[in-house]
Amino acid sequence: MVGFIAGVVGLAAAGVVSAAEEVNIYSYRQPHLVEPMLDMFTVETGIKVNTVYVKKGMVERLKAEGKNSPADLALTVDVSRLVALKRAGLLQTVNSIQLDENIPQNLRDPDGNWFVLTQRARVIMAARERVPEGALTSYEQLSDPDLGYKICMRKGNHAYNISQISSMVSALGREGAKKWLEGVGKNLGRKPQGNDRAQVGGVYSGECDLAIVNTYYFGKMFTGNGGKNPEQIAWAKGVRVIFPNQGDRGAHINVSGVTLLKHAPNRANAIRLMEWLSGDMAQYMYAHENHEFPVKIGVPTSPLVTKYLSGGRFKADSVSLAKIAEYSRVASELVAEVNFGS
Ligand SMILES: [Fe+2]
């Protein structure tokens, strides 16, 4: 009996030691989108997670900090940002059977430098009252001079739009994509402004009929953002979600992902967190808290996504993430050339 008690005390002491362990993150993702998972990781492992939320300039910051950087991991949306970190030589390779098993091959860097954790589609949300079902089926139609509907869209140089414009470059070529962007510009109901959800707000207020939005914001709005934005419930209920280009290349997909930084001071803990984020619990939470599409096969989408977003079962553009990243520079040039709210 004494031995048993000693054993328990020993474990408790070990627990105290591991509670002092930590992992440091620089995140482009907003706190409300990642904190639930990071808190759960701490509960499960005792490893403390310190997160710095960065708005811009992560590459420059990491370069300036060099070997003295406290950061272990970077969390971000958009493959071009993941690739930019890699190109700047700020990452290190991770060899992990668990990451390889959990994340499909096309969603991992071949060199093990970055890993996709969630996917979402960039879709059209159309005013239920004003845009009949079937009236719009493709991104291309958004640039039609006879469209007859007004579009709300955030600034062209935001990562989500750069990623989508890159996919238009891939589909239509540079000139085709430029013409498309010019046409979309002419159909705007107002100057590009605000975040994704604000575009749906623009549809609700009647400034626009169509909004370009990432899928998970439909879930965020539909649930009133966990009680923080009850007015957005009506915004979500007022729109129909259209997955574009289902008859040809499919809807544009963008991603969020994680990378291990070159000078990570807490390397082992960082890899443990990367693996955890790709595992069942975190993937379930990403799906159910954020309404994103999980990358791990077999993890279900949220009931809301299942009901209103066909459970994530739609035709997705199969263009490679590497191509999207490669075209991001051209996409930025086009935004400047047509002066699309940059
Ligand atoms: Fe977002």
Residue 31 CA to ligand 1 center (angstroms) comes to: 11
Q: Please state, in angstroms and rounded to a whole number, the distance separating the CA atoms of residues 66 and 342.
A: 30
pLDDT digits (tens, 9 = 90+) for 172-209: 999 999 999 999 999 999 999 999 999 999 999 999 99
Q: Is it the case that residue 15 has pLDDT exceeding 70? A: no
Residue 76 CA to ligand 1 center (angstroms) comes to: 10
Orientation angle between helical segments 267-277 and 31-45, nearest 10 degrees: 110
Separation in Å, CA 109 to CA 101, 115, 258, 316: 14, 6, 11, 20
Residue 187 CA to ligand 1 center (angstroms) comes to: 24
SS3 306: helix
Residue 253 CA to ligand 1 center (angstroms) comes to: 13
Q: Is it the case that residue 236 has pLDDT exceeding 80? A: yes
Q: Is it the case that residue 238 has pLDDT exceeding 50? A: yes
Residue 142 CA to ligand 1 center (angstroms) comes to: 22
Query: Hey, how many other C-beta atoms are within 10 angstroms of the C-beta on 307?
Result: 11
* Per-residue burial over 317-331, b = 16 or more CB atoms within 10 Å of its CB, e = otherwise: bebebeebbbbbebb
Q: At CA 198, angle to CA 282 and CA 215, rounded to 5?
A: 40
Over residues 227-251, the mean pLDDT reads 96
Q: Picking from 12-16, 38-42, 185-189, which range would have the lowest pLDDT averaged per residue?
A: 12-16
Residue 232 CA to ligand 1 center (angstroms) comes to: 16
Residue 298 CA to ligand 1 center (angstroms) comes to: 24
pLDDT at 101: 98
Residue 9 CA to ligand 1 center (angstroms) comes to: 45
pLDDT digits (tens, 9 = 90+) for 222-231: 999 889 999 9
pLDDT digits (tens, 9 = 90+) for 62-118: 999 999 999 999 999 999 899 999 999 999 999 999 999 999 998 999 999 999 999
Q: Is it the case that residue 167 has pLDDT exceeding 60? A: yes
pLDDT at 6: 42
Residue 91's nearest CA partner among 77, 109, 103 is 109
Over residues 6-29, the mean pLDDT reads 64
Contacts of 144 (CB under 8 A, 6+ apart): 183, 187
Q: Is it the case that residue 169 has pLDDT exceeding 90? A: yes
Residue 29 CA to ligand 1 center (angstroms) comes to: 7
Over residues 131-136, the mean pLDDT reads 96
Nearest-Å Rg of the Cα atoms of the chain is 21
Average pLDDT, the chain: 92
pLDDT at 3: 43
* Per-residue burial over 3-36, b = 16 or more CB atoms within 10 Å of its CB, e = otherwise: eeeeeeeeeeeeeeeeeeebbbbbbbbeeebbbb
Q: Going from the N-terminus, what domains does the chain have, and what CATH number goes with each? A: 22-119+253-302 (3.40.190.10), 121-252+314-337 (3.40.190.10)
Residue 78 CA to ligand 1 center (angstroms) comes to: 10
Predicted confidence band of residue 342 (pLDDT cuts 50, 70, 90): low
Residue 73 CA to ligand 1 center (angstroms) comes to: 19
